């Protein structure tokens, strides 16, 4: 019974119904367990329509963080809707690298999956993630540049950088320009550990940004998303410390998994992938110990494990893995 | 200089830059000045992705309030994006009643404006608001039923009920069903006075709901929108009291405007429309007294005035109107 959990991560309520309530550890997503602490200290103006100036300030602050000019930045209420709206704007034909994030296959009608190795041979619209999800594989800057150079006259390179914040060197956001057929997607909730805010960004040529704004209308973001995002992207000290901490904790997770006989893969510190004979059985075994992980319907050997929040959670994970 | 304010209401920051800072009264929108007080007492779970179960609960509670089955309810991050996404789904050809809310003319590409009087003669896709904005005109249930009956095989009736919460008798939400070509739009922010939450609903046949969910993706709403909306729509006592209060205060606004020589029109208590020789001049005169109203570029005689929050605001408005 891993059905409801092979679609997307999350779904803790469904897990509680199936496996019992208790002190659950949710490792089913790639969301940082260490949220940016600011929301508790911000008073939100829920009454008024968010001011266009405030939205522009958020986009300007985020643009600095991404290393791109603000005129190429369009804030969206979650990168999920950003991916989907952009997909309908760009249109087909398209190919999406698979396995990857499920939504990539739903962005453009008729998009067909493509293996990573086949990507250099295709010059049409190509959708991929960097780092990739769920395997955490990082594609080098040189390869990304080559993929971009390869786009034909009708092809776009659509890069989902939802997990790129942990290492800015991964990003090609700086290459977004009016003269390039490149669109980059960023997510606020994962690195900042605040997925409930629903905030993402589409970085694109100005014509695409304008078309997206027309689809979204005048007030795409909540007052909270604007206030939280503006303050968080400006908090360079917290961002730097979070990058160091996540790297340290990913190393501790690797040690734990290796000790339990697994070979964790992935270059993004927010999650690791392991291969086992029967991932569904392991998923259920962990779930009965109130640990939610992420199985994949089409990859019965894969289990993705998010970063535990602390030593206590790591210990519970290790005990559950050992208790086979 | 009323340019930035004839597009949509709001834009208080721009008004401050143009007319000076100070203790502004914002009467430029139709948002209730009496917000539902709950948000201050709710602790939001910003960390996790909003659970699908929580979204379903919100839609169920709102459905009861709207008088429609929950399977026809799709929550959206603001009715603005709901209007626009639905417009691209329904497609053309279409006509929109004008003058009305600006977005109605942008929902379906190529939509042409139609005068209210001409509506009964058109059997294609028709977009209108009830109550209408900015004139506050309420179309009777019998007329709405006739308009619905008049839709041909290819035509949809799209009804923006953003201001219908003040009087449930205005709504035709209960008629939404799989067998009817009717889509109704509801807005949370106006009646509940919490426009910064960004929450709206599309009430539609299940096929349209499914297509909308595909465009929106898995987590369309912020944790705050779900928590606030679920609690507010369930607060029947507050809702009933707010309806009475808004009606009383609209009557006080009518008295004030009449005393100053105007003839206010409108059946929605959240705003009134007045006609003057030079609405732009009156807009500027009020703005210089830190009162923001809503002029209209294409109707130079119209000024929409939102409901003042209290007797003090009414007095300031009356003094400003009198001081010609």
Q: What DSSP assignment string belongs to B260-289?
A: TT---B-SSTTEEEEE-S-HHHHHHHHHHT
Contacts of B194 in chain A (CB under 8 A): 46-47
How much is the average pLDDT of B6-29?
A: 85
How much is the average pLDDT of A282-287?
A: 96
Q: What are the b/e assignments for A19-40, b being 16+ CB within 10 Å?
A: beeeebbbbbbbbbbbbbebbe
The chain-wide mean pLDDT, for chain B, equals: 95
Distances (CA, A) of B73 to B173, B176, B202: 10, 10, 6
pLDDT band for position B1 (cuts 50, 70, 90):
very low
Asked if B68 contacts B174 with a C-beta cutoff of 8 angstroms, the reply is: yes
Say if the Cβ atoms of B48 and A224 lie within 8 Å.
Answer: no
Q: Residue A24: what are its φ and ψ, rounded to 5°? A: -70, 140
Q: In chain A, pLDDT over 90 holds for what percent of residues?
A: 90
Quick: pLDDT tens for A99-141: 999 999 999 999 999 999 999 899 999 999 999 999 999 999 9
Question: What pLDDT score does A92 carry?
Answer: 86
- Residues 6 or more apart whose CB falls under 8 angstroms from that of B144 comprise B130, B159, B172
Q: Is the pLDDT of residue A10 over 90?
A: no
Interatomic CA distance for residues A157 and A147, integer angstroms: 8
How much is the average pLDDT of A8-21?
A: 83
Asked if B127 contacts B107 with a C-beta cutoff of 8 angstroms, the reply is: yes
CB contact residues (below 8 A), chain B span 166-205, against chain A: 189, 193-198
Say if the Cβ atoms of A217 and B81 lie within 8 Å.
Answer: yes
Contacts of B228 in chain A (CB under 8 A): 46
Q: Is the pLDDT of residue B260 over 60?
A: yes
Across the interface, of B12, B52, B85, the residue whose CB is closest to A51 is: B12
Name beta bridge partners: B186: B201
CB contact residues (below 8 A), chain B span 273-312, against chain A: none
Q: Is the pLDDT of residue A2 over 60?
A: no
CA-based nearest residue in chain B for residue A46: B196
Interatomic CA distance for residues B83 and A19, integer angstroms: 40
- Which of A60-69, A227-236, A248-257, B149-158 has the lowest average pLDDT? B149-158
Distances (CA, A) of A49 to A153, A168, B75, B192: 41, 33, 18, 13
The chain-wide mean pLDDT, for chain A, equals: 95
Closest to A201 in 3D by CA, of A1, A66, A53, A48: A66
User: Any idea how long chain A is?
Assistant: 324
Say if the Cβ atoms of B29 and A51 lie within 8 Å.
Answer: no
Question: What pLDDT score does A11 carry?
Answer: 78
CA-based nearest residue in chain B for residue A89: B88
Question: What pLDDT score does B9 carry?
Answer: 63
Interatomic CA distance for residues A46 and A117, integer angstroms: 48
Interatomic CA distance for residues B208 and B221, integer angstroms: 18
How much is the average pLDDT of B234-238?
A: 98
The DSSP letter of residue B206 is H
Does the CB of A117 have a partner CB in chain B at under 8 Å?
A: no
Across the interface, of A12, A14, A222, the residue whose CB is closest to B197 is: A222
Does the CB of A34 have a partner CB in chain B at under 8 Å?
A: no
Does the CB of A218 have a partner CB in chain B at under 8 Å?
A: yes
A160 exposure class (CB count in 10 Å sphere: 0-12, 13-18, 19+): buried
Does the CB of B106 have a partner CB in chain A at under 8 Å?
A: yes
Chain centroid, CA B84 distance in Å: 14
Question: What pLDDT score does A154 carry?
Answer: 82
Q: Is the pLDDT of residue B191 over 90?
A: yes
Q: Is the pLDDT of residue A1 over 60?
A: no
Question: What pLDDT score does A9 carry?
Answer: 63
Ordered by where they begin, the domains of chain A are: 4-35+237-322 (3.90.1150.10), 38-234 (3.40.640.10)
Interatomic CA distance for residues B189 and A49, integer angstroms: 9
Asked if A153 contacts A255 with a C-beta cutoff of 8 angstroms, the reply is: no
Interatomic CA distance for residues B103 and B118, integer angstroms: 20
In this structure, the dihedral spanned by the alpha carbons of residues A80, A86, A88 and A92, taken in order and rounded to 10 degrees, is: -110
Q: Is the pLDDT of residue A167 over 50?
A: yes
Task: Give the residue, B323 or B249, on which the prediction is more confident.
Answer: B249
How much is the average pLDDT of B147-151?
A: 94
Quick: pLDDT tens for B38-81: 999 999 999 999 988 999 999 999 999 999 999 999 999 999 99
The structure's pTM equals 0.95
Interatomic CA distance for residues A61 and A210, integer angstroms: 19
Does the CB of A13 have a partner CB in chain B at under 8 Å?
A: yes
The DSSP letter of residue B110 is T
Say if the Cβ atoms of B106 and A214 lie within 8 Å.
Answer: yes
CB contact residues (below 8 A), chain A span 14-33, against chain B: 14, 26, 29, 31
Asked if A292 contacts A24 with a C-beta cutoff of 8 angstroms, the reply is: yes
Encoded tokens for A254: 């690797």
pLDDT band for position A37 (cuts 50, 70, 90):
very high
The residue whose two tokens read 């607060």 is B235
Asked if B296 contacts B6 with a C-beta cutoff of 8 angstroms, the reply is: yes
Q: In chain B, pLDDT over 90 holds for what percent of residues?
A: 90
């Amino acid at each position: 019974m891993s059905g409801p959990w092979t679609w997307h991560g999350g779904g803790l309520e469904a897990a509680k119904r199936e496996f019992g309530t208790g002190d659950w550890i949710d490792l089913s997503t790639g969301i940082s367990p260490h949220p940016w602490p600011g929301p508790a200290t911000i008073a939100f103006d829920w009454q008024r329509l968010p001011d266009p100036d405030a939205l522009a300030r958020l986009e300007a602050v985020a643009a600095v963080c991404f290393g791109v000019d603000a005129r190429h930045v369009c804030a969206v209420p979650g990168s999920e809707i950003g991916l989907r709206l952009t997909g309908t704007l760009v249109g087909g034909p398209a190919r999406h690298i698979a396995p990857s994030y499920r939504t990539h296959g739903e962005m453009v009608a008729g998009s067909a999956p493509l293996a990573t190795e086949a990507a250099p041979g295709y010059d049409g619209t190509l959708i991929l993630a960097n780092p990739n999800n769920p395997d955490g594989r990082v594609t080098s800057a040189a390869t990304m540049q080559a993929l971009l150079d390869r786009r034909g006259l009708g092809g776009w390179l659509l890069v989902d950088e939802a997990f790129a914040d942990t290492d800015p060197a991964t990003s090609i956001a700086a290459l977004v320009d009016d003269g390039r057929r490149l669109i980059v997607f960023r997510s606020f909730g994962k690195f900042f550990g605040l997925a409930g805010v629903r905030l993402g960004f589409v970085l694109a040529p100005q014509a695409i940004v304008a078309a997206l704004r027309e689809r979204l209308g005048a007030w795409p973001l909540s007052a909270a998303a604007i206030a939280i995002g503006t303050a968080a992207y400006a908090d360079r000290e917290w961002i730097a410390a979070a990058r160091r901490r996540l790297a340290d904790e990913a190393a501790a997770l690797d040690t734990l998994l290796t000790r339990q006989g697994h070979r964790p893969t992935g270059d993004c510190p927010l999650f690791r992938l392991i291969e086992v004979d029967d991932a569904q059985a392991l998923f259920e075994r962990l779930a009965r110990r109130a640990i939610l992980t992420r199985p994949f319907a089409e990859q019965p050997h894969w289990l993705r494990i998010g970063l535990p929040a602390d030593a206590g959670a790591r210990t519970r994970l290790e005990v559950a893995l050992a208790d086979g």
